[in-house]
A and B are shown apart, each in its own frame.
Chain A
Amino acid sequence: MTSRLRSHIPLPALGLFPGAVMMLGVFMLLTPFPSSAEYGDVVINKRAEQAGMRPVIFPHWFHRIRFRCRVCHTEVGFEIRAGSNNILMADIIEGRFCGKCHNNKIAWGPQNCQLCHSGLPGLESGVIGGPTTGGPSKW
């Protein structure tokens, strides 16, 4: 009975093109989720919360208006992979990583804890909107 019923249901034309079906699936998976944070924001929370500070939120959109990618990913030396940089607060105060700019010269200094340590408690490290947060690598 069920099988007869099924054979009468007209299959969408899509079924004829496996490629198109795959594309549809991909589209559905990648459609930006509503009400998520700004694209490209990076949560850095390897140590911050364990040490009693709020997680750090790094906004790419804000910085890329002011600096080319090479400034941070070549000159400052951030690896292009969220979580692969071991950033200690001592490094920042001594002028490495964020501290290369956040030194009271190029930008405000490390005394403004609340501007970097601004995340909700419990956030996991990672980039917002990336394939590493929503795509097949998490299947």
Chain B
Amino acid sequence: MKRRLVEILLVACTGLMLAACSGPMQEQTVPAASDVFAPDGPGRWLPIIADGLHDPTGPGAKQLQNPAEALFYLPSAFSGNKVRWVEAIEEGYIEPRPSILDSNYKMQVLDLDVIRTRTGEMPMVLFPHRKHTEWLDCGNCHEWLFKSKRGATRFGMFDVLSGEYCGRCHGAVAFPLVECFYCHSVRRKDLKTPVTELEMHK
């Protein structure tokens, strides 16, 4: 019975993956190979005219910048934009403006790590405020999305995968959810002072 279930699960996963990969293909004009791999970069970013989103026949397509022209020069990653955005900003590759209203505005960076412990078999989740407040305001997350109290906001991986809580940004704009261990980064045995384990929720 249990094996049966496992088999069904595996078949279902494989099926879903195949379905996702062969997904709704859109008819589009096929660009020449020289366009796809131009102008620089090893072809890790699709050019505007071949990304299945921009209309290659429209007047804008030729004027817009191809991602490779900019992203190639930033610290590289395997997923998402293929850029380590935190490194890019910390090491000064880019300096995005913090404000358009006040030219003296400084980001309010908060250096506070919060550990979330309800992770079952996975390593615990470390939420680094510093890396977030380099980009975001407190108000982009507090109090509507997360309460300012450790463990007070109840959510699990399923919510994250459904695009809520951390999944609002991660999986959409910030690094995608395939990178489990960017978030699940604290192994229980590595902690010197044990954190109070919160019970798994239902």
Contact = CB atoms under 8 A, between A and B. Distances in A.
Please determine whether chains A and B interact with each other in the same assembly: yes
A69 to B, nearest CB: 5
A36 interface: yes
Interface stretch (B20-28, B123-131, B186-194): B20-28
Contacts of B140: 69-70, 73-74, 80
Interface residues on A, range: 35 or more
Contact of A120 (B3, B54, B107, B163): B54
A136 interface: yes
Contacts of B101: 75
A109 interface: no
Contact of A19 (B50, B71, B121, B162): B121
B173 A60 contact: yes
Given A40-B173, A69-B173, 14 more contacts: A11-B3, A15-B6, A32-B176, A41-B53, A54-B55, A61-B81, A62-B70, A65-B94, A67-B97, A68-B107, A80-B168, A115-B63, A131-B160, A135-B171
27 contacts: A15-B3, A26-B161, A30-B171, A30-B177, A32-B176, A32-B178, A33-B23, A37-B46, A37-B54, A38-B45, A39-B173, A41-B53, A59-B64, A60-B173, A64-B135, A69-B140, A70-B99, A73-B136, A75-B100, A75-B101, A114-B58, A118-B60, A120-B52, A130-B171, A135-B161, A135-B163, A136-B162
